[in-house]
Structure formats: C-alpha cells, structure tokens
Amino acid sequence: KSEIVILGIETSCDETSAAVLVNGTDLRSHIISSQIVTHQRYGGVVPEIASREHSLHIQPVVQEALDSAKVSFSDLSAIAVTYGPGLVGSLLVGVSGAKAMAYAAGIPLIGINHLEGHIYANFLHNPDLEFPFLALLVSGGHTHLIFFEAHGQYQVLGHTRDDAAGEALDKVARTLGLGYPGGPQIQKVALDGDAQAFKFPRAMLEKDSLDFSFSGMKSAVLNTLNSARMRGETLNVPDLAASFQQAVVDVLVWKALRAIDQTGAKTLVLAGGVAANSLLRETLNKELSERSVRFVYPPPLFCTDNGAMIAITGYYHYLAGDFSPWTLNAVPGLGL
Ligand code: KG4
Ligand code: ZN
C-alpha cells in the first residue's frame, strides 16, 4: 500500500467517534456522535447508558466514516482504538468492535492511550510540531504537565492530586444550576460576569511543585454559596462563574509558566476538553508570546473527545511498527 490509511475509533466516555486519516495529515472523514443530550437529564454521564449508546452507534458511525472518506475496510492499513483510560463499558465497545473489524479485514490493531491521543491531536493541524515540548493536558478526568522528548518518550512533571480542572468546572456548574457539561456553560455565563467579584483561592501547593489541586477551590465556591443561602442572600451566578473560571485559569497558566521556567521548553502544547476554553487560550497566548514560547493548541472540536486524535496517534504508532495483540483489553485506569 502506498498510502497509510488509519481508521481511528474513540468510545472512552460519551462520544462515539470514528475518523479516516491518510498519511498522517489528510483527514478524509470525521464523525462524532455525541450522547450529551441523553446524559443531560441526569446531570452527568451515566456509564451504563453510555455503553449501550456506544453499542448502538459504533457500527453506523464507522460505516459513515468509511463512506464519507470513500474507502472500504480493504483500503485500511490499520485500525486504532482507545483502550483506556475511561469508562470500562464504553471502552469495551470500542475495543471489541475494533478487534473484530481489524481481524476480519486482516489488518493490524493499534491500542491507543486516550491521554496520548489528546496531546497528539495537535499534530493534525501542526504536522511541523517539533520535540521537545511541554504539554498541558486539561480534560474532564485529567490535569497533567508532561515533558515530551520524542514520540512515545515523555515524563510526567505534575498532575492533579484530587479533581481534574474539567471535573471541578463541571461540579461547580452543576451546583450553579448550569447543567452538563459544565465547562462550556461556565465559559458562556462568565461572559456576563465580573471575574474580580469573588476572591476564590488559587491552590499553588509547595514551592516548585507542578502538581495541581482543584478540590479546595471547588469547595470554596460551594461554601460561598451555602453561607449566602443561610443568610437568605442570592448571589450573582455570572459573577461566580467568571470568578471561578478565572481562578482555574490562573492556576493552570501559572503552573505552565513555572514548568516552562523549570524545563526551558520553547513550545507549549495545550490539549484536552478544557483546552477549548477561550480565557485559557487567550491568557496563555498573551503570556507565551511575551516569553517567545511557541503556543500550539487544537481547534475546539479536536480538544474534546474525537476519533481524529486516535487516528493520528495510531499513525505514529503505525510508523513505529507498534501494534497490539488480539488480546488487547480495556484498561479503565490506564495512566501515562
Ligand atoms: O477531553 P474531554 O472531552 O473528556 C475527557 O477526556 O475528560 O474533556 C471534557 C471536559 C469537561 O469537563 C468539560 O466541561 C470541559 O472538558 N470543557 C470545557 C470547555 N469545553 C469542554 N471547559 C472549559 N471551557 C470549555 N469551553
Ligand atoms: Zn478525553
């Protein structure tokens, strides 16, 4: 085969997604079937419902991805699939589906770490991205600072000790009655709020630490709300949203800058669902241009869960000859 054609499949949480990527740069198709509306009425993802929805959607989503890319299984070089971390029932649908399809087509299977996928999403629009770089991964389940030396070679410099940034945004949004998923709602409502209205703490931890802690910051919002309620006062929701968003962004930016100082990195790569946040992007953009550090981030659609990021990670694994055995299993707690 002269072309390397990768089908990427993502089912780790509440998006069933498939994409066809040719030669690592040409995204021929990208289908995302989101379950947000299904889970909204419960205020968060219900794992059992998520896996059932994936079972219903995986086959049509894959078929649509193949059809719109005008390829069939016999044109594929390999199938890449997320095998962790994530919800076990959701991961299993993707892993078993991908295994069956790859086995039937007689092509290699490539298991992908979802976290690596988020970071590699950056190669889709920046194929010239050069190592080494520092990556700030901020999603619903993870907050990591990682130093990448080469493909597949990296070192975790810091991570959250409790809640992930996205998780804290989601929980605060739920308490403020803003619905799920919370991050985009906080961003929207914050536009009408004053970010200086409430002084929420910024958890910086020990001197030189690159770890994060968002649980205390989240509790500060809940305590502020509760004590206002006891006094019979109602607080301004946009002000609360704007002030909390500002606190989270301040910590993320401050830690990223500290990591740049410590490593001397010349490039910062932003990734994960929270990377779609415009305040975070704008603040990093300003701070990094002042320091002449290159700032790379994916378009919003490629920040949240998607199959294209799995396809591009699969492409680099394919080049390295890094394939998975047919015994590949879902690993819900997979780390970096
Ligand atoms: O990466 P992702 O789609 O799923 C995980 O792997 O966790 O990230 C989802 C997280 C959620 O917490 C969601 O609230 C947050 O990303 N998020 C945002 C925005 N868009 C999504 N947070 C802040 N601002 C946004 N615009
Ligand atoms: Zn994700």
Q: Say whether 131-298 and 5-120+306-319 share the same fold.
A: yes
Q: Which residues contact 11 (CB under 8 A, 6 or more apart)?
A: 17, 54, 58, 81, 82, 86, 90, 91, 93, 94, 97
- Using the mean position of ligand 1's atoms as its centre, give its distance from the Cα of residue 195 in Å: 20
8 within ligand 1 shell (Cβ under 6 A): no
Mean pLDDT of 162-186: 96
pTM for the model stands at 0.96
> What confidence tens digit (pLDDT) does each residue in 6-62 have?
999 999 999 999 999 999 999 999 999 999 999 988 888 999 999 999 999 999 999
List, as ranges, residues with CB under 5 A of the ion ligand 2. 139, 305
Cis bond upstream, residue 181 (ω within 30): yes
Average pLDDT, the chain: 97
Furthest CA-CA distance within the chain: 71
280 within ligand 1 shell (Cβ under 6 A): no
Is CATH 3.30.420.40 the right assignment for the domain spanning 131-298? yes
User: Tell me, what's the ipTM?
Assistant: 0.99
Tokens of 48: 């059992």
Mean pLDDT of 293-299: 98
Percent of the chain clearing pLDDT 90 (strictly above): 97
Q: Is residue 249 a contact partner of residue 138, using CB atoms and an 8 Å limit? A: no
Q: Which atom of ligand 1 is nearest to the CA of 181?
A: 14
Contacts by 225-231, CB closer than 8 A, 24 or more apart = 225/175, 225/176
pLDDT for the residue numbered 272: 98
> What confidence tens digit (pLDDT) does each residue in 84-101 have?
999 999 999 999 999 999
- Using the mean position of ligand 2's atoms as its centre, give its distance from the Cα of residue 241 in Å: 23
250 within ligand 1 shell (Cβ under 6 A): no
Residue 204 to residues 51, 96, 215, 264, Cα–Cα distance (Å): 37, 42, 12, 20
Ligand closest to CA 301: 1
Binding site, annotated residues for Fe cation: 114, 118, 305
Mean pLDDT of 277-297: 98
pLDDT for the residue numbered 1: 61
Residue 83 to residues 49, 56, 190, 195, Cα–Cα distance (Å): 19, 19, 35, 39
Class of domain 5-120+306-319: alpha beta
Three-state DSSP class for 294?
Answer: strand
pLDDT for the residue numbered 141: 95
| Cα–Cα distance for residue pair 72/119, rounded to 1 Å | 28
11 within ligand 1 shell (Cβ under 6 A): no
pLDDT for the residue numbered 2: 85
pLDDT for the residue numbered 301: 97
Percent of the chain clearing pLDDT 70 (strictly above): 100
> What confidence tens digit (pLDDT) does each residue in 188-237 have?
999 999 999 999 999 999 989 999 999 999 999 999 999 999 999 999 99
Which protein residue's CA is at the shortest distance from atom 13 of ligand 1? 183
Domain boundaries along the sequence of the chain: 5-120+306-319, 131-298
> What confidence tens digit (pLDDT) does each residue in 126-155 have?
999 999 999 999 999 999 999 999 999 999
| Residue 13: exposure state from Cβ atoms within 10 A (0-12, 13-18, ≥19) | buried
pLDDT for the residue numbered 43: 86
Closest to 137 measured CA to CA, from 162, 120, 112, 152: 120
pLDDT for the residue numbered 147: 98
Q: Is residue 166 a contact partner of residue 183, using CB atoms and an 8 Å limit? A: yes
Mean pLDDT of 252-269: 98
Q: Which atom of ligand 1 is nearest to the CA of 115?
A: 6
Mean pLDDT of 109-116: 98
